């Protein structure tokens, strides 16, 4: 690990750690680098979680067409429950007049 950190420091052209016989401490540049790296890793984890949710059908969009005459009562309640239970799935509702 120490070798990889030194290689990174060489690539960046700056020290990330102040080293001494008592140990190592992050330099100000190292602290900034570590904070940015943590944000990147967090973003990658969130991206992976979002992808997994989409693959599992827990994220995405659903388009739903319905007749106006069916838009009350149980249908409305069902839509409300769906939105409460699946906040990461968007609903695109298309209301139409009955063909009769």
Confidence (pTM): 0.60
Ordered mean pLDDT values, 10 residues apiece, the chain (100 residues): 94 96 96 97 95 88 80 81 90 81
Torsion from C-alpha of 46, 31, 23, 4, nearest 10 degrees: 60
Residue 100: the pLDDT is 66
As given in the structure block, the two tokens for residue 65 are: 């067409």
Residues 6+ apart with CB under 8 A from 74: none
Return d(Cα 17, Cα 8) in angstroms, integer. Answer: 11
C-alpha Rg value of the chain to the nearest Å:
26
């Amino acid at each position: 690990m120490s070798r990889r950190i030194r290689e990174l420091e060489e690539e960046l052209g700056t020290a990330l750690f102040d080293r001494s016989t008592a140990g190592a401490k992050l330099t100000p540049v190292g602290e900034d680098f570590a904070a940015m790296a943590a944000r990147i890793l967090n973003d990658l984890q969130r991206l992976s979680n979002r992808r997994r949710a989409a693959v599992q059908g827990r994220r995405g969009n659903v388009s739903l067409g319905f007749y106006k005459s069916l838009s009350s009562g149980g249908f409305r309640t069902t839509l409300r429950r769906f939105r409460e239970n699946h906040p990461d799935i968007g609903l695109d509702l298309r209301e139409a007049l009955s063909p009769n």
